[in-house]
Amino acid sequence: MTEAFDAVDLIRTKRDHGTLTTPEIDWLVDAYTRGYVTDEQMAALAMAILLNGMTRSEIRDLTLAMIASGERMDFSTLGKPTVDKHSTGGVGDKITLPLMPLVASFGVAVPQLSGRGLGHTGGTLDKLESIPGWRASLTNEEMFAQLRDVGGVICAAGSGLAPADKKLYALRDTTGTVEAIPLIASSIMSKKIAEGTGSLVLDVKFGSGAFMQDYDRALELARTMVDLGNDAGVATTALLTDMNVPLGLAIGNANEVRESVEVLAGGGPADVRELTLALAREMLRLAGQPDADVEAALDDGRAMDTWRRAIAAQGGDPDAPLPVAQETHVVTAPSSGVLVRQDALPFGIAAWRLGAGRARMSDPVVHAAGVDLHAKPGDEVVAGQPLFTLLADDAARFPRALEAVEGAWEIAPAGTEIPARPLVAARVD
């Protein structure tokens, strides 16, 4: 077989700030997927992209080429609109759990293909696997049946979706090129577009606990992904949300499921409820229901009913007790005053060190491990009051977790006011 292009020429083009053509990008992705372009060559190209960027047309071509490397799902036979949500990940971000059943309770199909956690950001599938019997892997037939019967599904993405991205993602993770916005955007959107959803809402987080800590970079990523979605015919919008403080009071797996069920019962922390409702409104607007009363559906039990049916459909017992940590360590307030700071990243790292996360994809997670917060910034505390509790199955994990959160929180004198920070900072469409 005679190859149409030479990888070295394409590397030089990007190294020298040039633009790759559509045929060049199509060939590159195909040749890399089948092994003709080596990891060393693709690593060099990824670094050139990190340093010099890509044009909108290049990013679009890269995304479409990665989609073309695998299968593309089609939900048109369901006879109802489909809408999905993707979050760039954060600390305590369990929003998918109450959001899917809430939106599905309005007769909209929600095919939520999710992943596992790596590092300090938790994975939706890891959280749900805290529920006895629940299974993440479904066949396409099972997924379609659940979308028809229940309205929503949270499950693992099949290996057939954008296999080129899976190979490139692993390479980026080991070559210092994860942060390249064109590669992040094409990675996320190739899978979401291949998934076949009719519309998509992106939750792009910024702040200390986010993948993209800088607001302007997060905004650039959001705009790039929204453009990619709309260029591909998927109605796409994004909300930029603050991840400087952990979301909710639970960080981990089983404890985040408990908190999600509280939200579905009409309670739960105010910030988790607020973001769930904001994303639900955005999803339903794209699905043709701009006036849907999402608060009523959360409070009157409709969303909870859908949750229970979805969990049961995947073999889980929604009434089964969730795992409880064998060991706990409570950290109390050393003085009275106002909690004015609670940095998200250190608490995410602490949960990870306690066993709630993994360093490698092959590592297991401890479903009962994590952190329970007892106060949030702005709350008044008194000396001796519990500030947070570390949860683990092995007390030997506590010292390193405590190291992670040292200096990550601050109590100021009583009466100190802290500026209000909107949870949803911007909307991109």
Could you read off the pLDDT of 7-53 as tens digits, one per residue?
999 999 999 999 999 999 999 999 999 999 999 999 999 999 999 99
Cα(85)–Cα(192) distance, integer angstroms: 9
Q: What is the pLDDT of residue 281?
A: 98
Residue-averaged pLDDT of the chain: 94
| Sheet hosting strand 370-373, strand order edge to edge | 250-252, 370-373, 386-392, 327-332
- Judged against a pLDDT cut of 90, whether residue 251 lies above it is answered with yes
86 carries an active-site annotation: yes
- Judged against a pLDDT cut of 80, whether residue 1 lies above it is answered with no
Mean pLDDT in residue range 327-341: 97
Mean pLDDT in residue range 192-200: 93
Burial of 327 (0-12, 13-18, 19+ CB in 10 A): middle
Q: Measuring CA to CA, which residue among 262, 390, 392 is closest to residue 323?
A: 392
CATH 3.40.50.1360 holds for 76-159+194-313: no
187 carries an active-site annotation: yes
Start-end of CATH 3.40.1030.10 domains in the chain: 76-159+194-313
Among 116-125, 255-264, 287-296, which is the least confidently predicted range?
A: 116-125
Q: What is the pLDDT of residue 170?
A: 80
Start-end of CATH 3.90.1170.30 domains in the chain: 327-412
Q: Do residues 132 and 174 lie in contact, with contact meaning Cβ atoms separated by under 8 Å? A: no
- Greater confidence (248 vs 119) lies with 248
Q: Which residues pair with 340 in a beta bridge?
A: none
Q: Which candidate in 120, 172, 308, 353 is catalytic?
A: 172
- Judged against a pLDDT cut of 90, whether residue 178 lies above it is answered with no
Q: What is the pLDDT of residue 412?
A: 97
Q: Which candidate in 69, 130, 186, 187 is catalytic?
A: 187
394 carries an active-site annotation: no
Q: Measuring CA to CA, which residue among 377, 329, 334, 333 is closest to residue 353?
A: 329
Give buried/exposed letters for 70-81 (b at 16+ CB in 10 A, else e).
Answer: beebebeeeeeb
393 carries an active-site annotation: no
Q: Which candidate in 14, 85, 86, 120 is catalytic?
A: 86
- Percent of the residues in the chain that have a pLDDT greater than 90, as a whole number: 86
Taking the alpha carbons at both ends of the chain, their separation in whole angstroms is 44
Q: Measuring CA to CA, which residue among 55, 31, 51, 26 is closest to residue 42?
A: 31
Cα(134)–Cα(155) distance, integer angstroms: 10
Nearest 10 degrees: CA dihedral of 304, 77, 26, 158?
50
Mean pLDDT in residue range 103-115: 94
The CATH number assigned to the domain with range 327-412 reads 3.90.1170.30
